[in-house]
Structures are given as structure tokens and as C-alpha cells.
């Protein structure tokens, strides 16, 4: 089977064939950096992280671009309201770019903690004003946009395919438009490409139409095409951005270039809390920093991947506790495996786990529009078989056990980004670990001189459970991470 992805543009699963053989260009809408990231961000960026990891595991060279929105995103997500950053900066009494710096850093801290690999290029919207102005000029030149009172609007009537992503029509939009229509718009469904900066608006740049700032939608068109070309493979983002944001991106980009913009549109679904939409106004908003205080970030990541990226993810304490139980079950099996490897003979029996079959199952799951819950089920299938094998108390050979360990390192670790060395409690030794282990070794040495073998074994076994193996040599005892 080959990779099939659900393309929102055509509302069906399609065979994935990139534009250039062996190379995938992917753009994902990044965060608007005016506050700490929440569970919704985690769902989106963990999902696309796994998509990028899987594409790389298939041998593709992937160029992953994810922007930072630091200007132009208004409080109503469309053309009305205040700039989200300008508003928060006013409240915090700091310059907007200091706010952007603070929350960009906070965002990446949280993503690093979730084991989300950094995108290859992270363009800032405010850093691409020139590119955005150029694109607006092109659209005006083609008669697809018009200047009104220092702002520039896209004329949706000039792009007949408007609505092809979201399934909305211009008629629907006109009919459903708000009462307060900006008089300067020719049609209610037209959207802003460039907005005039009123007196007192802090974030402003000179333009052919006077001082102003870019519309939110034009940013992603300008930045994605700058780094990935006029037509590229995958555009990702949250479902809530399908309309108007992504619909507008298509209209602007295809309007400006006359070429297809994106081959595959991928949208992740949203997070609910105890069955209800999560929102600041609803008071059920959970930041990642709060979540990490309660749950291991690896468990949060595991929880997210246990549901499909196109399904809603319902967050509750019970659901997280359930995920933790599953995660620990798998982690225990892996720890047990490492302990067995440490003492396994070079020869010895095979475990009988059919890794080729499981590899195919894992690949099939991921090939089916990145079905991570199914892929995780395969990880559990291998664990179950392995635990059965261990129950028989046979003396398995090191090569057979190491093959399973490598299988997990690839499928759980590299592709899904879970059960990595750190997650199993080893590898990430803090500065105190060495001295503590050395102290235990020194105490154990004294204990052994007094022939208190039970206590000596208690230290060895206790350390092994933590993931630290001792080796007694003539010159003394050494230790190493075994998990």
C-alpha cells in the first residue's frame, strides 16, 4: 500500500504523490504569539510533527515551513476587531515585538517539551512585509483587488473558485454577512489584504497605499510561496482555519500566480474539554504549562496520538489518566526488554515475534492517512507478544531482543516521537544523577564488605528498575544507563 492522505480540498483520501520526486514541501500555519500555547496547539503541532516524521521515514527530503504570526491577526479572525498582539501588548504595557518574542520562546519551549521537532524555516509575518506588498500589487495589477481609503481588499467576485476549500459560496457569504459591513468593501465577502493604520496603531509600515499593516491571510500566502515555491505539496492547519483563512489563501495565491497553490490540504480537528469546546471565554482553557504540571509531557503526546488527527480530541482527567496507564504499560515492557538485553547471551533462542508482519501493519496504519491510533495498537501488539515470550522464562538471545528494541526505537521513537530514551527515564541525566549513583555504589561496596548480600542486591535491583545497570569489575563497580 502507498500513502493515502485525506485532502480537504476534494473531501476524500487520495494517493500522495509529491510535485518533485523524493521531496516534500510542507507549510503549517503557526501560532499567533500573544499568549502561552494551549492543548489545541499541541494537537495541531504534534499531528503535523508526526506527519513530517513519517514522510522522512519514507525517505522523502522534507522542507517544513511553519510561520509565526506576530501582526495582522485581528480579534474576530476576519477583518474586524483589534490586532491580537497590539491589544495584549497594550494590556501588558510592553512593545508588541517584545510580546511576540516572549510568546514565541514560550511556544518553542512547550513544543520542545512535547518532543516536536523544530520546523526547518520559521518565518515571522512582520518580517515579510515586502513580500506581502509585492503580492498585493500583483493582485491590484490583475484587477483582483482594489484600494479603498488606504486599505486594499480582495474582490472575491474576481476568483470564481472562491469557496472550493470550504464549500461555501459567495452568495452564502453575502447573505450571512454581518450587519456592520465596512462601507469601503464593494461586496460583503471581500476580504482585507492590507489595512490602513489609524492614528495610534503601533505596528505600521509604509506602503504604496499609505501606512498600514498586512491582512492575516496574505501573510501565509506570501511566506509559504517564498520558501516553498508558487505551488507546493502540503498545507496544514487547524480545521477552524479552513474558512476564512485558508479559503482566502487559495484565492490570493492562485489569483496572483495563475497556478494551483497547494496539492494537499490537511486539517486537524479540535480539542474539547469534557465534551465541550475549549475556549478562553468558556473558562475551560488549558495551557500546556498547566497540563505539564499535572501530566508527563510524553503522556500528553501519547494521548494526542491515541486519537486520529482528523478526530476531535476530548480532554478530561480520566482520559489522561487512561492514557498514562497505557503509556506506562508500554514503557514497562520496554524497560523489561532492556533489562533482559543487559543479561542476555550472545546466542540463544529467538522470541518468535514476527517483526516483518508488525512493520507492515504499522506502515499500513500510517499509510492510511496517518492513522496513529492504529499504529499505536501495533506497538501494543508487539508488547503483548513480547510479554508472553518473557512469561515462558526461556533464555532469549541478545540479537533477537535487540532487534525488537531497534524496532521500537524506529517506530515508536523516530516516527511517533514517543518512548524515546528520555521518556523511559534515562538518557536525560540531571547533574545530580552521577553523584547519587556513585554514592549508592560506595554504600553498596561497604555493605558487601560486611557481607550483607540482601541489601547489596536491593541496591542493584533498585537501580535496575530506575534504568541504571551496575557492573562489578576487579577495579571496582561501574554503571551505565540500560533503559
- Min. distance of Cβ 134 from its own copies in angstroms? 6
How many residues in the shown chain lie near its own copies by CB under 8 A?
A: 53
Site string for its own copies, 365-404 (x = CB under 8 A): ----------------------------------------
User: Which of these segments, 6-14, 186-194, 326-334, 439-447, binds its own copies (CB under 8 A)?
Assistant: 439-447
432 binding its own copies? (CB under 8 A): yes
230 binding its own copies? (CB under 8 A): no
| Number of C-beta neighbours around residue 272 at 10 A | 17
β-strands 61-66, 212-214 pairing = unpaired
463 binding its own copies? (CB under 8 A): yes
167 binding its own copies? (CB under 8 A): no
- Residue pair 303/323 in contact (Cβ under 8 Å)? The answer is yes
CA distance 273 to 319: 10
Exactly one of 75, 80, 98, 169 binds its own copies (CB under 8 A); that residue is: 98
45 binding its own copies? (CB under 8 A): no
- For residue 260, give the nearest of 436, 452, 19 by alpha carbon: 19
436 binding its own copies? (CB under 8 A): yes
Between 148 and 433, name the residue whose CB sits nearer to its own copies: 433
User: Which of these segments, 120-128, 285-293, 399-407, 413-421, binds its own copies (CB under 8 A)?
Assistant: 120-128
- Residue pair 214/71 in contact (Cβ under 8 Å)? The answer is yes
- For residue 213, give the nearest of 224, 198, 203 by alpha carbon: 203
User: Which of these segments, 112-120, 159-167, 261-269, 307-315, binds its own copies (CB under 8 A)?
Assistant: 112-120
Between 15 and 439, name the residue whose CB sits nearer to its own copies: 439
CA distance 95 to 97: 5
- 410: which 3 cell numbers? 524506529
User: Which of these segments, 142-150, 181-189, 324-332, 457-465, binds its own copies (CB under 8 A)?
Assistant: 457-465
- For residue 193, give the nearest of 178, 181, 176, 209 by alpha carbon: 209
Kindly identify the residues of this chain, within the stretch 59-78, that bind its own copies according to CB under 8 A.
63
CA distance 248 to 163: 9
* Residue whose C-alpha cell is 515551513: 65
β-strands 145-148, 12-15 pairing = unpaired
CA distance 443 to 432: 17
Burial of 43 (0-12, 13-18, 19+ CB in 10 A): buried
Between 377 and 459, name the residue whose CB sits nearer to its own copies: 459
Kindly identify the residues of this chain, within the stretch 127-166, that bind its own copies according to CB under 8 A.
127-131, 133-134
CA distance 177 to 391: 66
Residues that bind its own copies (CB under 8 A): 63, 94-95, 97-98, 101, 105, 118-124, 126-131, 133-134, 205-206, 227, 422, 425-426, 428-433, 435-437, 439-440, 442-443, 446-447, 450, 452, 455, 458-459, 462-463, 466-468
Amino acid at each position: 500500500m502507498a500513502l493515502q492522505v485525506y485532502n480537504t480540498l476534494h473531501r476524500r483520501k487520495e494517493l500522495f504523490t509529491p510535485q518533485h520526486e523524493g521531496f516534500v514541501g510542507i507549510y503549517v500555519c503557526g501560532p499567533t504569539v500573544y499568549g502561552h500555547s494551549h492543548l489545541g496547539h499541541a494537537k495541531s503541532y504534534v499531528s503535523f510533527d508526526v506527519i513530517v516524521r513519517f514522510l522522512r521515514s519514507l525517505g522523502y527530503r522534507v522542507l517544513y515551513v511553519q510561520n509565526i504570526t506576530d501582526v495582522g491577526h485581528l480579534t474576530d479572525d476576519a477583518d474586524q476587531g483589534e490586532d491580537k498582539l497590539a491589544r495584549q501588548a497594550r494590556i501588558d504595557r510592553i512593545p508588541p515585538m517584545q510580546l511576540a518574542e516572549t510568546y514565541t520562546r514560550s511556544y518553542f519551549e512547550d513544543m520542545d517539551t512535547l518532543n516536536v521537532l523544530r520546523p526547518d524555516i520559521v518565518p515571522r509575518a512582520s518580517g515579510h512585509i515586502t513580500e506581502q506588498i509585492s503580492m498585493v500589487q500583483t493582485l491590484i495589477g490583475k484587477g483582483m483587488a482594489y484600494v479603498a481609503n488606504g486599505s486594499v481588499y480582495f474582490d472575491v467576485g474576481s476568483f470564481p473558485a472562491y469557496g472550493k476549500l470550504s464549500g461555501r459560496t459567495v452568495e452564502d457569504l453575502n447573505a450571512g454577512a454581518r450587519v456592520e459591513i465596512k462601507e469601503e468593501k464593494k461586496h460583503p465577502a471581500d476580504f482585507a489584504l492590507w489595512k490602513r493604520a489609524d492614528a495610534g496603531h503601533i505596528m505600521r509600515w509604509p506602503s504604496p497605499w499609505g501606512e498600514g499593516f498586512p491582512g492575516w491571510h496574505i501573510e501565509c500566502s506570501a511566506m509559504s510561496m517564498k520558501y516553498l515555491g508558487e505551488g507546493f505539496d502540503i498545507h496544514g492547519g487547524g480545521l477552524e482555519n479552513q474558512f476564512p483563512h485558508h479559503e482566502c489563501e487559495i484565492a490570493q495565491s492562485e489569483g496572483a500566480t495563475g497556478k494551483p497553490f497547494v496539492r494537499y490540504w490537511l486539517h486537524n480537528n479540535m480539542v474539547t474539554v469534557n465534551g465541550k469546546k475549549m475556549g478562553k471565554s468558556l473558562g475551560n482553557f488549558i495551557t500546556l504549562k498547566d497540563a505539564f504540571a499535572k501530566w508527563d509531557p510524553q503522556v500528553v503526546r501519547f494521548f494526542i496520538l491515541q486519537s486520529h488527527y482528523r478526530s476531535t480530541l476530548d480532554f478530561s482527567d480520566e482520559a489522561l489518566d487512561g492514557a498514562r496507564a497505557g503509556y506506562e504499560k508500554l514503557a514497562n515492557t520496554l524497560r523489561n526488554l532492556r533489562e533482559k538485553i543487559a543479561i542476555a547471551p550472545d546466542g540463544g533462542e529467538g522470541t518468535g515475534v514476527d517483526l516483518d508482519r508488525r512493520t507492515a501493519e504499522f506502515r499500513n496504519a500510517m499509510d492510511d492517512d496517518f492513522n496513529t491510533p492504529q499504529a499505536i495498537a501495533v506497538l501494543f501488539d508487539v508488547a503483548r507478544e513480547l510479554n508472553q515470550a518473557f512469561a515462558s522464562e526461556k533464555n532469549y538471545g541478545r540479537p533477537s531482543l535487540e532487534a525488537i528494541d531497534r524496532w521500537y526505537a524506529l517506530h515508536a521513537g523516530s516516527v511517533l516521537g514517543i518512548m524515546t530514551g528520555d521518556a523511559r527515564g534515562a538518557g536525560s541525566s540531571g547533574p545530580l544523577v552521577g553523584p547519587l549513583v556513585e554514592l549508592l555504589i560506595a554504600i553498596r561496596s561497604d555493605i558487601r564488605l560486611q557481607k550483607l548480600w540482601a541489601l547489596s542486591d536491593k541496591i542493584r535491583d533498585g537501580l535496575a528498575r530506575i534504568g541504571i545497570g551496575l557492573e562489578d569489575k576487579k577495579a571496582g563497580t561501574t554503571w551505565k544507563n540500560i533503559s
